[in-house]
Amino acid sequence: MTGNIRKSLAVVTMAGAAALGALVTAPAQAEAASLGTAAQTWSAQASSAQASSGLPNCVRVWQKSGWVTKRGYAYNGCRYNVRMKIIWAREMDGPCSTVAPGQTISSKRGRGPASFDGARAC
């Protein structure tokens, strides 16, 4: 009888370990899949934002959101200075700045009604 209990406990322990392994790998796989989707979304948003912004294709825009604030960024990947500003919907835009090659500008807003609309030439 004791041998059967030990075998049952071993099977339950192995099944639990296998289930735990599935729980640990599933979020990592889901995160990797969502990163691919996010990168595609960012790329599509950046392309559509740049088409109407008057900025050259060597300028990249993105945002990062925290618990309280969000920050919009624009990176000048061009070989020349670019005048641009960060654009927010339902909030005041960032100031117009001359951005040297390889430099980044940013603008921070509270996480409220403001939404990041990219950057625009000024």
Q: Are residues 80 and 43 in the same domain?
A: no
Distance CA 117, CA 89 (A): 6
Least confident segment among 30-34, 45-49, 75-79, 92-96: 30-34
User: Are 28 and 80 found together in one domain?
Assistant: no
Say if CB 90 and CB 113 are below 8 A apart: yes
74 pLDDT exceeds 50?
Answer: yes
Condensed to tens digits (0 to 9), the pLDDT of residues 10-29 reads 544 455 444 444 434 444 44
Same domain, 108 and 62: yes
Confidence band, pLDDT 50/70/90 cuts, at residue 53: confident
Same domain, 74 and 109: yes
CB 109 within 8 A of CB 68: no
Q: How many domains does the chain have?
A: 2
**What pLDDT sits at residue 34?**
42
Q: Is the domain of 59 the same as that of 34?
A: no
Domain range for residue 10?
A: 1-53
Do 45 and 81 fall within a single domain?
Answer: no
